[in-house]
Structure 1
Amino acid sequence: MTSASTIRKRSLAVLSGVAVAALALSGCAAGTDSGTPGASSTITVGTTDKVTTLDPAGSYDNGSFFIMNNVFPFLMNSNPGSSDVNPDIAESAGFTSPTEYTVKLKPGLKWANGHDLTASDVKFSFDRQLKIAADNGPSTLLYNLDSTEVKDDLTVVFHLKAANDQIWPQILSSPAAPIVDEEVFSPDALTTDQEIVDGNAFAGPYVISSYKFNELVQFKAYDGYQGLLGKPKTKTINLKYYADQSNMKLDVQEGNIDVATRSLSATDIESLSGNKNVVVHKGPGGEIRYIVFNFNTMPFGATTADADPAKALAVRQAIADLIDRDAIANQVYKGTYLPLYSYVPAGLTGATEVLKTLYGDGNGGPDAAKAKSTLEAAGITQPVTLNLQYNPDHYGASSGDEYALIKSQLEASGLFTVNLQSTEWVQYSKDRSADVYPLYQLGWFPD
């Protein structure tokens, strides 16, 4: 998931693409009843990911959505392992005309604080997403929503701009669609994490019983949840945040946490795979990595002193010609990532390697001679300086090695000089939305 506002504000260029496999580790932590996570009434999960905000209008990232998925209700949802969406807290949902999608809620829904959960909350949730339209939020996913109408306490009608929108049910399960309590959340501004927690404004499978921002979150099962996912098997889940993956790896080895996810380095995963008390779970990830160019501030960008769109294009093309994606996937990520030559990662419907023949040697490899020729044809004869930013925590500790290798690949050609810098995720997320970085790392997660 990336902020859709990025697409609104600037063009994106997918260059150094890699697709990610999903990996998690589980073990037997102190105090659990068996080596199977979930067999105990309490489990502890470790992560190096970060939360931006608990307010669904203010974040569009995996770390924040991980929490939202567990504590907020959705009209539509998917069972684990399936991409098909079905009614969650809805009793029924479907098109009642080409531009009207009608949802009927299950009766008797309650927020954990005792407030009634009605169609009014649904309208409120979608109205505020569009009104707030936060730069780091997911409001642009609602591009086809014209208005939301309450018919009665249990019935809401979405009026769509374009007819027969077959992805609308998926949108209702997306980061733009958590339902929030209108008696707790502000209608026109982001609500603070503490206000949300203090208001007990939850109606998902879990509530948040204790919250320390990016340190520790405790979830308690919510008896009032009536959704698709069913009653939680584990009563209490502790989510522990780590500043770096080395401490998380140590806690896995010492049995202090039951599950570790997002993320350990490929080297750590390889090492832990040999531990008889640890199980490595693997699956298709659908996650991708890429470099974003700010078309205004990149070399020869529109607002630079030497603005030249033809030269800016040549710079982007030359970088794409030089990046060795296979080397990144294998040297840095030990084969847990795959080279990406498409906008859609392998494993998802529609994935084809449409970009593979366009850059480099035409077969996925780099081509320094082609890159040099591209720059010279645009009138660029001196090495180009690139200011490249990456994030060391949200996308995993191996990001440092990944971008060091990218720097090495680009500079080895003699065509570029790379100034490489990193920023922690919370600030990084704000900076990229404010157009601080000319070139920067970003990722996308399936919604």
Structure 2
Amino acid sequence: MTKSNKALHGAIALAGISALALTACTGPSGGGGTSTGEAGGGAITYGTTDKVVTLDPAGSYDGGSFMVMNQIYPFLLNYKPGTADAAPDIAESASFTSSTEYTVKLKPGLKFANGNTLDSSDVVFSFKRVKAIDDPNGPASLLSNMEKIEATDANTVVFTLAAGNDQVFPGVLASNPGPIVDEQVFPADKIMDDDAIVAAKPFAGQYTIESYKKNELVSFKPNPDYQGLLGKAANGGATLKHYADPNNLKLDVQQGNIDVAGRILTATDVADLEKDSKVKVHKGPGGELRYMVFNFDTMPFGAKTPEADPAKSRAVRQAIAHLVDRDVIASQVFKNTYTPVYSYVPKEFEGAAEPLKSLYGDGNGKPSVDKAKKVLADAGVTSVVDLKLQYTDRYGTSAADEYALVKEQLEKSGLFTVDLKSTEWTTYTKERRADAYPVYQLGWFPDYSDADNYLTPFFIPGNFLGNHYENPAVTEIVKKQLVTTDKAERSDLLGQAQEAIAKDLSTLPLLQGAQVMVAGTDVKGIEKTLDASFKTRLGVMSK
């Protein structure tokens, strides 16, 4: 099957409007842009407790999988290290050519590591595939505004958007649905097995994968044919080592067995490592949220339960919001390495508000048993509520203490009995989408640096939570802010959305965390990846 026969026809007449134009930096040889350093230095070993769900971009929406994808797949747009502004990666240019059309021109001569040509047909295939597969654990919801995508020639792609002036679309192209895959390798209608992906070498990112043992070891080799924004890797290769126990991760970075420890070290471990002269603790902008999710079908009084009652179900959610004590969780479990959060959008982002503080508890961030009792009584809930609560190892061993404390806080009120259980992450991701957990833990690491990334993926129809929450008024506000160009007006809409969501309580944010990496004192470049793009880049690290 040749590429020349696959390009789509029917060129679009483009209006000469440029609301946003992005042009690639080109090096002296016409290749990639900003070099991260001289390739061929020592190899880097990076450790993490994160798990990979799949290497297939259509099938995952988690940090562990996306971390690997960022090393091996190219993006149309990406982030120059140290910045949070999307710029062309394998694109030569990218711009709005009308309010509803976004045109991308690819650099010439692109290819995958297997020798296959990378052109506009692969780009069209990649984005259509994410939407068509619409995997329950995938990122299709981020493409909700993409009405269609066409290749007008071998190097040009036009995205047509349902709503014009989309303020975050460039960021979406640099996020989870953005990796460009080889259409001669990936099936159009199903998720591809990791080992089959590795064997086919459909990589055109900064690295290729040399060897792969899922959730144990990944060996990366610099890709000499990469022409993207990140330039040549600053090291001669990298190894990703997965850990089941953060204590072992801590010991290995402390003893120099690995160069860098990423997610997730416990708060106690980070505090200990800050006192160790053999390593350095690096911190970057916060964006992580730890939160609870309510399944609107299966939670107490949920729509699919025998005692279904929307008012009582809402009262249960609000009672929980009245009872949780974030300050105690932050100090006792996380030694204040995480901070209480009362917003759906972290404070670092434009449009952040704190409706959860004023609406629940004592109005100043502390719990209120009296208000919890009242909201339940007013809804007609007269008996103790039995609550099934699930958490996972995905968010560190501290999650056990975190949710034990949540259980204690709820039960101490006399209003709840809590059945608390834990499930391993790979099983957890499947079971939560199968409505197995009435109330459960999740964490969030942003895909792109904008407040919308804390709203659209969660609270509009087709969201990745799949928790059966839908509020047309919220949907309208969230979609309106996406296309509002006036900053003040958009900020107001973001506040309105958060206020409405806080009353419904589809989720309950608890804590906000910073990015943390611990590295040997001889390791350079960590500060170039701990930025507001929230992407881990092995290619900036060297020693």
TM value normalised by structure 2: 0.74
What are the Cα deviations for residues 199-248 of structure 1, in whole angstroms up to 9, with x where unaligned? 11100001111100101111111011111111100121110001111111
Once the 2 structures are TM-superposed, how far is the Cα of residue 285 of structure 1 from its aligned partner?
Answer: 2.0
Offset at residue 346 of structure 1 (A): 2.1
Give % identity: 62
SS of match in other structure, 1:356: helix
CA deviation profile, 1:104-156 (whole Å, cap 9, x unmatched)? 00011111111111001000101111110100000111111111111111111
Partner AA of 1:187 in structure 2: A
Q: SS of the counterpart of 1:208?
A: strand
1:205 maps to 2:206? yes
**AA of the residue aligned to 1:408:** E
Structure 2 match to 1:20: none
Deviation at 1:304, TM superposition (A): 1.0
CA contact (8 A) 1:46 1:241 kept: yes
| Residue 429 (structure 2) aligns with | 429
Counterpart for residue 407 of structure 1: 407
Q: Secondary structure at the match of 2:129?
A: helix
What is the match of residue 444 of structure 2?
A: 444
Query: Partner amino acid for 1:398?
Result: S
Alignment partners' CA distance in 1, 2:126 and 2:120: 10
The farther-off stretch of 76-85 and 100-109 is: 76-85
Gaps of 5+ in 2: 1-38, 448-543
Partner of 2:255: 254
Give 2:193's aligned residue: 192
CA distance in 2, matches of 1:40, 1:330: 41
Alpha-carbon deviation of 1:354? 2.4
Q: Write the distance in 1 (CA, Å) between the matches of 2:230 and 2:255.
A: 32
Does residue 97 (structure 1) correspond to residue 118 (structure 2)? The answer is no
Query: Which has the higher mean CA deviation after the structures are superposed, 342-351 or 426-435?
Result: 342-351
Q: Post-superposition shift, 1:253?
A: 2.2
TM superposition shift of 1:39: 9.8
Matched, 1:315 2:304: no
Aligned with 1:310: secondary structure?
Answer: helix
Following the alignment from structure 2 to structure 1, what is the Cα–Cα distance between the partners of residues 192 and 370?
Answer: 53
Distance in structure 1 (CA, Å) of the matches to 2:382 and 2:87: 57
Query: Where do 1:17-416 residues align within 5 Å?
Result: 40-392=41-393, 394-416=394-416
Q: Which runs of 5+ in 1 are unaligned?
A: 1-37
Cα offsets for 1:362-404 (capped at 9, x unmatched): 0011001111111122222321111000012x11111111001
Tell me the distance in 1 between the aligned counterparts of 2:296 and 2:354: 25
Q: Contact 1:184 / 1:195 at 8 angstroms: preserved in 2?
A: no
Name the one with the larger helix percent.
2
Count how many residue pairs are aligned between Structure 1 and Structure 2. Answer: 409
- Per-residue deviation, residues 328-347 of structure 1 (Å, max 9, x unmatched): 11111111111111110122
> For residues 439 and 180 of structure 2, what CA distance do their matches in structure 1 show?
35
Q: Partner amino acid for 2:406?
A: I
Q: What is the alpha-carbon distance in structure 1 between the residues aligned to residue 156 and residue 374 of structure 2?
A: 62
CA contact (8 A) 1:53 1:64 kept: yes
- Separation (CA, whole Å) in 2 of partners of 1:407 and 1:39: 51
For residues 25-82 of structure 1, what are the alpha-carbon distances to aligned partners after superposition, in whole Å with 9 as ceiling and x for unaligned?
xxxxxxxxxxxxx995211111000000000000000000001111100000112232
Partner SS, residue 148 of structure 1: strand
State the distance in 2 between where 1:122 and 1:40 align: 33
**Runs in 1 of length 4+ with deviation above 6 angstroms?**
none
**CA shift in 2, pair 1:40/1:404, >3 Å:** farther
| SS at structure 2 position matched to 1:57 | helix
Kept after mapping to 2: 8 A contact 1:133/1:139 = yes
Scaled by the length of structure 1, the TM-score of the pair is 0.90
Residues 377-386 or 228-237, more deviating: 377-386
CA distance in 2, matches of 1:40, 1:376: 66
Deviations 1:134-191 (A, max 9, x none): 0000011111111111111111111111122221111111101110001110111111
Supply the distance in 2 between the matched residues of 1:40 and 1:420 (Cα, whole angstroms): 48
Considering only aligned residues, what root-mean-square deviation do their CA atoms show, in Å?
1.2
The SS at the match of 1:404 is: helix
SS of residue matched to 2:183:
coil
Residues 385-430 of structure 1: per-residue CA shift (max 9 Å, x gap): 11000012x1111111100110111111111111100001100000
Q: How far apart are the structure 1 equivalents of 2:347 and 2:51?
A: 26
Q: Quote the offset at 1:264 in angstroms.
A: 0.8
